[in-house]
Structure 1
Amino acid sequence: MTAEPLHTTSWPMPPLDGYTVDDLLTLPDLPPHTELIDGSLVFVSPQRYFHSIVIDLLVSGLRRTVRPDLRVAREMTVVIDKRNGPEPDIAIVRAEAVRSPTQTYFDVGDVILAVEVVSPESEARDHDTKPHKYANAGIQHFWRVEMTNTDARAVVHVFELDGERRAYRPTGVHHDHLKLSVPFTVDIDLTEIDHL
C-alpha cells in the first residue's frame, strides 16, 4: 500500500522584517484586494452581496454630491507608511491625487474620508485596526457601515478626527438617510438598497 502524496500550497515566505508597500504594489499574482497591515499581507474573503450593493449605493450618492476638487475612489490602496497599505472600500481624495488612470494607490495625505463596509471576516480590522491607523495618519473623516440585524439595511456610523488625541469621535449614526454637511454636502437615501 502506498501513501497518497501530500498536497502542498505554494504560499510566499514573508521577509524577515515583514512585507513593505513596495512588495504589496509589485508582488505578482496576489489575490484581488490584498491589504498590507503592519507588514503582513491580509487576503480578503469573498464579499457578501450586501457589501457590494452598499458600496455601489454610497459611491453613486457621493459622486452626485462631492465637490469638484475631490474624487471618489473605490477599493484603492492607501499608503500610510512603509508597512501599511490598507484598502478602504471607498475613499474621498483630493482631485490632484488622481494622476493617471493606471495608478494603483493614493498617499494618505490626499485622503479626506475613508469608508469601511464591515464584513464578518473584517469586523476587527474595520472596528479597531484600520480606524486607529487612519486616525494616526490624519485622515479627517471615517465612516463605518454595518448591516442591520432586522432588515439587512445599511447603518452608517460617522466619525471625525480629534486632532489633539489622534482618534476619531462619533458624530452620528444614520439609518435610513445619510444627510451631512461635513466634509461636504451629502444626501443619500439608504433605503434605496431595497431596489438594488
Structure 2
Amino acid sequence: MSVSLTERHGPWTVDELHRLPDDEHNRYEIDDGVLIVSPRPASSHQAALLEIAVLLREPARAAGLEVLPEVEVFTARRDDWLKVPDIAVVTWEAFDCEPQEYEAADVALVVEISGTGQSARRDFGEKLSAYADAGIRHYWVLELTPASKLTVFELVGTEYKQVVSSRELIELTRPFPVEIDPGRLTRPRRG
C-alpha cells in the first residue's frame, strides 16, 4: 500500500518514504522525521556532478571504492533519516551486494553540489551535521556560484573539521589521492 503526501501527518520513516509513488521529478530525503522534497537539479549542477564523478572514479577505484551519483544513504541507527547526496563514494563490498540504498557505514565520502541561498545553507548547515552524525568520514561541498569553490571536511571525533576551501587546485590524500581544480569542474567545454 502506498502513502500519500497529503494524507500523511507526523514524523516520516524510511519505510514510509519507500512506499511513496515513484516520482522522477523530485528528490526525497528525511531528516529527523521531516520529509524534504527538492526539485531535480539544473543543468549546471548535473554537468558539475558528471565532471566530479568522472574525476573521482579512477582514484576511488584504486582505493577499493566506487563512485555513485544520487543514491540513497541511510543509517541503521535511525529510521527517520535518509539522504540522497549528489555523489556517494562507497566500499566495493557494499557495491558488490547491489543494494537499493547504502548504509552510512559503507560510505567513505559524500559530495554535495551547492547553488545559492537555501541549498548552500542546507549543505553547510543541516547536511554537515547530519553526515557527521551518521559517521561519514569525508564530506565535500562544491559551490557553483559566484565562482566554483571546493570545501573539504573530515570527521574528527563526532564533528567535521574543515581541511581546505579553495577556488584553486587542491591536492588531497584522503580518502584517496586526487587533484581537483574546482574551476574545471564547472567550466563548459565545447567541441
Query: How big is each residue's C-alpha offset from its partner over 1:112-150, in whole Å with a ceiling of 9 and x where there is no partner?
Result: 11111113342222111111011111111111111242x
**Aligned residue for 2:181?**
189
Counterpart-to-counterpart distance in 1, 2:65 and 2:50: 18
The Cα of 1:64 is off from its aligned counterpart by: 2.3
**Aligned residue for 1:70?**
65
Larger Rg: 1
Counterpart-to-counterpart distance in 2, 1:99 and 1:36: 26
Counterpart-to-counterpart distance in 1, 2:97 and 2:160: 31
**Aligned residue for 1:5?**
none
Contact 1:65 1:187 in 2 (8 A): no
Q: Which AA in structure 1 matches 2:172?
A: L
Could you list the structure 1 runs, at least 4 aligned residues long, displaced by more than 4 angstroms after superposition.
Answer: none
Counterpart-to-counterpart distance in 2, 1:177 and 1:111: 25
- 1:82 is aligned, of 79, 95, 98, to 79
Counterpart-to-counterpart distance in 2, 1:13 and 1:170: 42
- TM, length-normalised to structure 2: 0.85
Instruction: Determine helix, strand or coil for the equivalent of 2:187.
Output: helix
**Aligned residue for 1:33?**
27
Task: Kindly tell me the number of residue pairs found equivalent between the two proteins.
Answer: 180
- 2:51 is aligned, of 49, 52, 57, to 57
Counterpart-to-counterpart distance in 2, 1:97 and 1:86: 17
The Cα of 1:42 is off from its aligned counterpart by: 1.1
**Aligned residue for 2:169?**
177
Instruction: Determine helix, strand or coil for the equivalent of 2:51.
Output: helix
The Cα of 1:100 is off from its aligned counterpart by: 5.0
Segments of structure 2 that go 5 or more residues without pairing to the other structure are none
- TM, length-normalised to structure 1: 0.83
Contact 2:26 2:39 in 1 (8 A): no
Residues 159 and 50 of structure 1: is their aligned pair in 2 closer, same or farther, counting only changes over 3 Å? same
Segments of structure 1 that go 5 or more residues without pairing to the other structure are 1-9
Counterpart-to-counterpart distance in 1, 2:166 and 2:92: 27
Say what the alpha-carbon RMSD is for the aligned residues.
2.0
Give the percent of matched residue pairs that are identical in Structure 1 and Structure 2: 32
Counterpart-to-counterpart distance in 2, 1:85 and 1:98: 18
